[in-house]
Chains A and B, each alone.
Chain A
Amino acid sequence: MQINLALAQIATKLGDVQCNLEKHLDFIKQAKAQKADLVVFPELSLTGYVLQDLVPTVAHKPVDDDPIFQPLLKASQNLDLVVGFVDEDPGHRFYISSAYLSGGRVLHVHHKIYLPTYGLFDEGRFFAHGDSIRAFDTRFGRVGLLICEDFWHASPPYLLWLDGADILIFSSASPGRGLNAHDKLESAWWVENVNQSYANLFSSFVVHSNRVGFEDGLNFWGGATAYDPNGERIAHGPYFEEALTMTTLDLNQLRRTRSRLPLMRDERAYLVQRELNRILSK
C-alpha cells in the first residue's frame, strides 16, 4: 500500500482563523490536484503561533457545526487532513492541538503534552497540557500525532510505537535560531536529526510539517521532511518558503525493514515498565 503524502508548510496570519482556513482550503485543493491522500499542516496552522492573550479568541471545537471545522471536515471526504488549532474543553482549558480528519469525521485529537516555557517559549503560561498519548487507526494503518516539543521527549514517540503506530506525524511551529557558519540553522539541524533518529530507532515512517513566515522578529524555517523506516529521507521541503511537498510512503517498507531489523519484536516493554515503577517509587 502506498500513501501520497502532502506536507503543507504555510505561513499564517496571527489570530485570523478565517484567513488561515482559506489558505488551508487552497493548499488542500492543490494537494488534491496532485492526488494526495493525506495533507499535514503545521502546529497551530489555523491560528498562528505566538498567540499570548489571543488564545481564548481563536479556540474552535472540531465538530460538524463549527464554522471553521465544517469546511475542513467536508474537504476530508476526499483526502485525510491533519490540522493545527486551539481546542477548548468544557472547563475552558485551552490546548495546542492537532486533529486528524478523514471521511468527514474527526478520527483523533491530540493535545500537546509538553509546553515549552523557557528561553523564547512561553506556552505554559497560556495553555493547558494534554495528558494522553494514543495511536489510532486510519485507512492507511495505525498513526500517532505529536506536536513539536512532544517529540523532544523520547517517551511520546516510544509510547506511540508500542501502541502500534507505524506512521508518526509530527507538526511544529519551530522558530529559526542558531545562525553559524553552516548552511542550515541549528534549529533545523536539531529537528532533522531527531526525526531521522526516531525513524531509525522505531523502524517507522516519521513525517514532519513545520510552518514558515514571521511573527515579529521570529522566523519559522519550514523544511518539511519525511523519513522512511530505514531512516532514509524521502522528502525535504524548502526552507523559509511556503510549499506543498509531495512524497510517497510505501507502507510495504515497514515489513522489509522490520524483517532486517526486528527492534519492535525484541523490545522489552515489561522490563521498561518494571524499571520505571522502581525508579518512580523511590
Chain B
Amino acid sequence: MNIDLSINTDLARKILAGFLKSEITRVGYSRAVINLSGGLDSAVSCALAVEAVGAENVLALRLPYKTSSPDSLEHAQWLVDQFKVRCETVEITDMVEPLFRLDPEMSKSRRGNVMARARMIVLYDRSEVFKALPIGTSNKTEILLGYTTMWGDMASALNPLGDLYKTQVRQLARALNIPQPIIDKPPSADLWAGQTDEGELGFTYDEVDKLLYLLVDKRYTVQDCIEAGFDKAFVDKVVGRVQRSQFKRMMPPVAKLSNRTVGYDFLYLRDWGT
C-alpha cells in the first residue's frame, strides 16, 4: 500500500509563518525565542520564525549540558550563522547538577526530564528579558506517541510543527535549506550519550508516521491497518502508546463543582478579543 505523506512545502511555509506572525503580533509582541538544540525540529521552527518576524527578532538559545554532544552545539551554531538570528548560550549543568547530586540513583529518563525542564525554565526566563514568545518544536509524531517531557520540551506559547509528522518536518527542512547533516543525522533528544529516538522507541519514524497517518488522519481502525499490511504487534504497541499518553496532550482536568468551570463551560479561544 502506498501511503503518501508528502506535503506542499510552499503552502506549509506560508501557513506556518503566517500563523506565527499573526499569533505573535496580535498579543502585542514582535519577537520569538527558541531553544535551538542543533536538531531538525528546532531548526525548522527557527527558520519559520525568521520568515514570520525577521531574523533580528528571533533569539536562539543553545542550552548544553556537560555531556551534550559537541555536534549539537556546532549544528546550532551553523543555523545561527545561516539565519543570522541572535544567539545566547547558557549551560544548564550548574542548574541540574545539584538535583542530580541529591539522588545518585536517578535514572537516565529522570535526568533527561530534569534537563528538558531546566531548558524550559531558561526559555521562559529569556522570553521575558527579550520580550518574546517561546516557540515550540514538538512534532505530531512525538506528540501522539507521548515521546516528550511534559512542561519540558513540550512547553511553548505557540507550536508551528505540531500537525506535521517527523517525516514531513524533514521535507519542510529541505525546503528551508536546513544544512544536510542536520537533516540526515539520527534524531536524538541528546539527553545522554548515544541516545537516539528510534533506538528508544523501537521503530523508525518512516514506519510509525505511515501508521499514525492511517490511524489518526485517515481514521483507520486497528483491523484496517493490519489489512493495509502493518504487523499487528506494531499496531497494538503504537495504539497503546497513543492512548496511554493522552494525559500529556491535555491541560490538567479541573474538578467541576460550580455551574461554570474553566475547561468545561468557560469557552473562549486564546485569541479572545484580538
Contact = CB atoms under 8 A, between A and B. Distances in A.
B273 A16 contact: yes
Contacts of B108: none
A97 to B, nearest CB: 21
B271 A14 contact: yes
A54 B268 CA distance: 7
B4 A13 contact: no
A214 B27 CA distance: 13
Given A180-B6, A180-B8, A181-B7, A54 B272 contact: yes
Main secondary structure, interface of A, reads: loop
Contacts of A219: 15, 18-19
Contacts of B67: none
B19 A179 contact: no
B274 interface: yes
Contact of B8 (A15, A52, A182, A216): A182
Contacts of B15: 176, 179, 219, 240
Best-buried of A14, A52, A176, A179 by chain B (most CB within 10 Å) = A179
B102 interface: no
Interface in B93-138: none
B140 to A, nearest CB: 12
Chain A, interface size category, equals 20 to 34
A179 B268 contact: no
A45 to B, nearest CB: 16
Contacts of B11: 179, 183-185
A214 B269 contact: no
A185 B8 CA distance: 9
B3 to A, nearest CB: 12
B200 to A, nearest CB: 28
Given A53-B267, A184-B11, A240-B18, A14 B272 contact: yes
Interface string A51-75: 0111000000000000000000000
Contact of A216 (B4, B267, B271): B271
B144 to A, nearest CB: 16
B23 interface: yes
Interface residues of B, number: 24
Contacts of B249: none
Nearest to A55: B267
B22 A213 contact: yes
Given A13-B273, A54-B272, A179 B267 contact: no
B184 interface: no
Interface of A: 13-16, 50, 52-54, 176, 179-185, 213-217, 219, 239-240
23 contacts: A13-B273, A14-B269, A14-B272, A14-B273, A14-B274, A16-B273, A53-B265, A53-B266, A179-B7, A179-B8, A180-B6, A180-B8, A181-B7, A181-B8, A184-B11, A213-B22, A214-B18, A214-B23, A214-B271, A216-B23, A219-B18, A219-B19, A240-B15
Interface of B: 4, 6-8, 10-12, 14-15, 18-19, 22-23, 163, 265-274
Given A52-B267, A180-B7, 16 more contacts: A13-B274, A180-B6, A180-B8, A181-B4, A181-B6, A181-B8, A183-B11, A214-B18, A214-B19, A214-B271, A215-B269, A217-B163, A219-B19, A239-B14, A240-B14, A240-B18
